[in-house]
Structure formats: C-alpha cells, structure tokens
Structure 1
Amino acid sequence: MYDKKAVYVWIQHELAGLCLLHVCLTLLFSIEISSQLCTMLHFQQNKMNKEILELLKKMSGIFPSQCIRERTAFKPTQEVSQLPLFQKDNAKMAMQEILQEIFNIFRKNLTQSTWDGISIVRFQNRLYQQIQQLEACLKAQMEKDLTNPESEDLQHTSWRVKQYFQGIDAFLKEKQYSLCAWEIIRVEIPRCFVLTDKLNRTL
C-alpha cells in the first residue's frame, strides 16, 4: 500500500526538478543564441546602419532652403564623432547608448516635421532592433563572464554622450519642435553613425 502523501511529495519533487531543468536548458539555449548573435553583430550592425541612413534621407529629401540660415543656430556641445573608441565590450555598450539616445529623440513631437510617416516608423523600428541585438549580446557576455565590463573611461564618455543629446533635446524645445529644427537635427544625426561605424569596426 502506497503512502499517498509520500507519493504526492515525490511527484512534486520530480516536477520541480523537471521545471528547474527546463529553466536551465532555456537559459543555456538563449545564451547560445545570444552568443551566435554576438558573432554576427559586426555584419548586422553595419547593414542596419546603412539602412537607417537611407531612411533618414527618405524622410524628407533635400534640406529646405528656408532653414539654411537657422542651421547655424544649432551649436552642439562637442563633436560626437570624435569621442574615444573602446575595447570590444565597452564599444558595444557605447553603441547601445548612442542608438538609445537617438531613438529617444525621434520619439518626441514630430507633428511639424512633414516627414514621410512610413520612413519614420521604419527608422524607429530599425533602431529598436539594433538596440535589442546589442542588449542581448551584452547580457549574454555578462552572464558568461560574470563581470561588468563598464570602466571609468566608458562612464565618462557615457556622460559626454548624454550631454550631446541633451543639447539636441534643448535645441528642439527652444525651437518648439519646428520644421526647421527637426530638419537641422535630421542632418546632424548621421554624425552619430560615423562614431557607431568606428565602434562597430572594433567588434
């Protein structure tokens, strides 16, 4: 005669073991996928950067002549393309931060931009995909190494990147998100991809 309570406890124990095994296998599988993603990261980021720059052009086309005089009003705090490069893992983090800041800027008030809506959505989607890829790769790397690759140099550059984008944000607010303000930022943003391309080449 089986003890029902003992059988029940045994079943619960076995199920818990299976659940733990499932979680472990899922984690290992996701890390393996993320590792493969990291291997292809350089190629994927390079391809997406080209697509994003094309979408930036398609949004509006030729820079409006009425905005030429206003263009001198935008004076960035620094040349973002001249920020220093990093070792491989820090480069990934720097790229992710730059792309996230661009994504945040282009989620603001675009009502006066008169840009092509489809190009805007595709631009935002491509940026989001890049950010997610970098995040997955960094997460897998940190789980594998059990270390945080962030350094003092990266923290300093992170601060400088935030400063640069705060300047863009302040400019848009000052100009009340006007058509010309958005056009000026649209032609400024490709400079950021000069840096992400440099960072990408270090991967």
Structure 2
Amino acid sequence: MPSSLQGESRETLRKLRQLQNVPSGSCIHDRINFRFPWKPHQFHETEATCFYHQMLDQIFNLFHTEDSHAPWGDLLLSQLLASLHYQQTELAKVQNLTCPDLGNVVRNYFRRIASYLQKKKYSPCAWERVRREIEERLFLLVSEAASEES
C-alpha cells in the first residue's frame, strides 16, 4: 500500500470502530472463522497492494447494501463509504491493480461473510461480528504495510 494512504487507512479503521453498536461480548455465540486468505509476508508489495485494493472493493460493496443501513446510522456509514471510495480511487491511480487470482480469493472470503449474514438474518450480532472481522483484518494489512515502510 502506498505510504500516502496510510493516514486514510487508519481513518477507515477509526470509522469501523465507531460503527460498533453492540458490545462484542454479547455476541460470543456468533463467533465464526471466515478463513481470511492472507498470511503476513505472503506476497510481495505489488500483490499486497492489489490484495488491499480488492479488500476495499469488497468492503465497500458489503457496506453499501441496503441491509447494512439497519444496524448503523446513515452518517457514520456514509463517512466509512466515502473513506473506502477515496482509497479505492487513489490506489487505482497509483498502480495497475490487475490481479484476477487474488480477486477471486478475496471475493470467496466475502462470499462466506455474505452467506453468514444471510444465514443469521442480518442480525445486529452478525453485523457486529462482520464489522469486527473486517476491522481486525484491515488492521493486519495496514500494520504490515507500515512495518514494511520502516
């Protein structure tokens, strides 16, 4: 990920944290392993940037659905979507991000997430579990990118 987006990536994480509206402890029965398809230092920088871009696309698509408006207010959600869109646009300007294999891997991961939400009937706890999953995974990617910069 380009260093110019580090600040915006942290801002996206902050916005995701602000979306928490159900205490995580009350949703312990909703825990699930979505099988995140990334291991630190698995890809070189271009692949990592492409993976991050694919993640942003899928997060944007997930939180842009009508079902995502129920658990959160429109203001916070629109701020998150604006931050995601900005990063997507900036990443597209910086590099040619053609990575069909990684795109398929990320899409499959988000299909598991969407299937889980549907199975749980988009409950507040299901959304909280997904929000937490995405926050943790973005934190991993942003932290790894920051450590590679130093």
After TM superposition, the score normalised by the length of structure 1 is 0.62
- Mapping of residues 45-194 of structure 1, within 5 Å: 45-61=5-21, 63=23, 66-69=26-29, 71-72=30-31, 74-76=32-34, 78-82=35-39, 85-108=42-65, 109-113=67-71, 115-139=72-96, 150=99, 155=101, 157-194=102-139
1:37-75 alpha-carbon deviations (Å, 9 max, x no partner): x9xx31x32111211111112123552654332x22x33
Answer with 1 or 2: which has the greater Rg: 1
In the TM superposition, residue 179 of structure 1 has moved relative to its aligned partner by 1.4
Change over 3 Å in CA distance of 1:67–1:158 after alignment to 2:
same
**Alpha-carbon distance in structure 2 between the residues aligned to 1:92 and 1:125:** 19
From the superposition, tell whether residues 158 and 193 of structure 1 become closer, same or farther in structure 2 (CA, over 3 Å). Answer: same
| Equivalent pair of 1:80/1:192 in contact (CA under 8 Å) | no
Letter in structure 1 aligned against 2:104: W
Matched residues in 2 for 1:170 and 1:84: separation? 29
Taking only the aligned residue pairs, the percentage that are identical comes to 22
Contact kept in structure 1, 2:58 and 2:110, CA below 8 Å: yes
Report the AA paired with residue 82 of structure 2.
N
SS where residue 189 of structure 1 aligns?
helix
The size of the alignment, in residue pairs, is 147
Q: Structure 1: state its 5+ residue gaps.
A: 1-37, 143-147
The alignment's TM-score, normalised by the length of structure 2, stands at 0.81
Deviation track 1:151-186 (CA, whole Å, cap 9, x = no partner) reads xxx72x433222211110101111221212111111
CA distance in 1, matches of 2:136, 2:37: 7
Inter-CA distance 159–84: structure 2 relative to 1 (3 Å threshold): farther
Q: Which has the higher contact order (CA 8 A, sep 6+)?
A: 2
Aligned-residue Cα RMSD (Å) equals 2.6
Gaps of 5+ in 2: none
Q: Which runs of 4+ in 1 moved over 6 A?
A: none
Contact 1:82 1:195 (8 Å CA) reproduced: no
Encode CA deviations 1:13-42: one digit per residue, 9 max, x unaligned: xxxxxxxxxxxxxxxxxxxxxxxxx9xx31
Q: Secondary structure at the match of 1:67?
A: helix
